[in-house]
């Protein structure tokens, strides 16, 4: 699976190398052509190569997903570590915010935020990110708290090392495991969320290639050119399955050991 995941990432990352055609070049002569040698996945309503668009679209979807998960991971982990380490009033406030935000229905908030802030990937990412950092913060906080109370950390405290040193050297590496596992399991969900928002027209703005918006656009002429829906759909499903599977495996592995 990890090979497949790497393959998907490489294929989309180097979309420019693998794509046989320009994903944005429209052509009136080849509108809705069935898959053939020149256009492996056929063409869409504007004569654009679906295969190239799937590759470039994957880059948009995957890059946005990774970026969002990484930012939530970074923000959540830092907040969680600081709260768990120092405790006190800041900890109480942040965890209260986290509890309250956890009470919001995520997708409803995301649709409202993306809808009000206007279309665009930035809006969609903010919309999903508002609730996403919490799982990281809570996880990091509880682990920091328990690591902080371990005997060896207390010993290090007596040697006069700074708090920053202890957090970076002793706490951060020890909570990487669970937090990274969480990040991995979030990838599939985030991808579903982002492409869902794009599908609704609240994410990426056409003509930029993105799987959700490609499917949404091509849905109108699915009867005459089903390939322009099927290939991006297949790409979405396969990618999500790969990342969900990886998440499951790592989760099982961590639980077993």
Partner 1 sequence: MIRSVLKKLAEIIIILVVLSFFVFVLLYIAPGDPAEKRLTSQGIVVTKQVLDAERERLGLLKPFLVRYGEWLFSVIKGDFGVSFKDDMPVAPKLYKGLVNTCILAFSSLMLSLSLSFTLGVASAVKKDGIFDHIVRIFSFVANSLPNFLISVLLMYFFCIKLDIFPVIAAGDLQGLVMPVLSLAIPMTGRFTRQIRAEILNRMNEDYVTGMKGRGVKNRYIILNVVRNSLGHIFTIVALQIGTLMGGSVVIETIFRWPGIGKLVMDSISARDYPVIMGFVLIMGAIYVVVNSLSDVLDRTLDPRISE
DSSP state of 219: G
Site string for partner 1, 207-236 (x = CB under 8 A): -----x--xx--x--xx--x--x---x--x
Q: Which of residues 174-213 bind partner 1 (CB under 8 A)?
A: 188, 192, 195-196, 199-202, 212
Which candidate, 250, 230, 248, places its Cα nearest to that of 240? Answer: 248
Site for partner 1 contains 120 (CB under 8 A): no
Could you tell me how many residues of this chain bind partner 1 (CB under 8 A)?
A: 40
Residues 6+ apart with CB under 8 A from 194: 61, 64, 65, 68, 121, 124, 125, 128, 203, 212
The answer to whether residues 43 and 31 touch, using CB atoms and an 8 Å cutoff, is yes
Nearer to partner 1, 99 or 163 (CB): 99
Nearer to partner 1, 176 or 251 (CB): 251
The answer to whether residues 148 and 84 touch, using CB atoms and an 8 Å cutoff, is yes
Site for partner 1 contains 248 (CB under 8 A): yes
CB of 30 to partner 1, least distance (A): 23
Nearer to partner 1, 13 or 117 (CB): 117
Ramachandran angles phi, psi of 37, nearest 5°: -65, -40
Q: Which of residues 71-100 bind partner 1 (CB under 8 A)?
A: 100
Residues in the chain, total? 257
Site for partner 1 contains 58 (CB under 8 A): no
Q: Give Cα 55 distance to the centre of its chain.
A: 17
Q: In terms of DSSP H, where are the helices of the chain?
A: 2-13, 15-18, 50-86, 88-102, 106-117, 121-148, 151-158, 163-166, 172-199, 211-218, 227-256
Nearer to partner 1, 19 or 191 (CB): 191
> Contact positions toward partner 1, by CB under 8 A?
100, 103-113, 115-118, 188, 192, 195-196, 199-202, 212, 215-216, 219, 222-223, 226, 229, 233, 236-237, 240-241, 244-245, 248
């Amino acid at each position: 699976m990890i090979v497949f995941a790497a393959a998907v990432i490489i294929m989309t990352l180097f979309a420019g190398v693998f794509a046989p055609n320009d994903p944005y070049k429209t052509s009136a002569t080849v509108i809705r052509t069935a898959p053939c040698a020149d256009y492996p996945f056929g063409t869409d309503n504007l004569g654009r190569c679906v295969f190239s668009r799937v590759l470039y679209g994957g880059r948009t979807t995957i890059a946005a997903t990774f970026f969002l998960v990484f930012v939530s991971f970074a923000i959540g982990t830092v907040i969680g570590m600081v709260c768990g380490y120092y405790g006190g009033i800041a900890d109480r406030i942040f965890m209260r915010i986290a509890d309250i935000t956890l009470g919001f229905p995520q997708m409803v908030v995301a649709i409202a935020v993306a809808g009000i802030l206007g279309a665009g990937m930035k809006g969609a990412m903010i919309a999903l990110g508002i609730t996403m950092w919490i799982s990281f913060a809570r996880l990091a906080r509880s682990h920091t708290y328990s690591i902080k109370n371990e005997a060896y950390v207390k010993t290090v405290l007596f040697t006069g090392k700074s708090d920053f040193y202890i957090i970076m050297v002793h706490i951060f590496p020890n909570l990487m495991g669970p937090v990274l596992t969480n990040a991995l399991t979030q990838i599939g969900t985030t991808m579903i969320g982002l492409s869902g928002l794009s599908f609704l027209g609240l994410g990426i703005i056409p003509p930029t290639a993105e799987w959700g918006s490609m499917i949404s656009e091509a849905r109108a002429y699915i009867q005459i050119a089903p390939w322009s829906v099927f290939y991006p759909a297949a790409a979405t499903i396969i990618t999500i399955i790969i990342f969900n599977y990886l998440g499951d495996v790592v989760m099982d592995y961590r639980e077993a050991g």
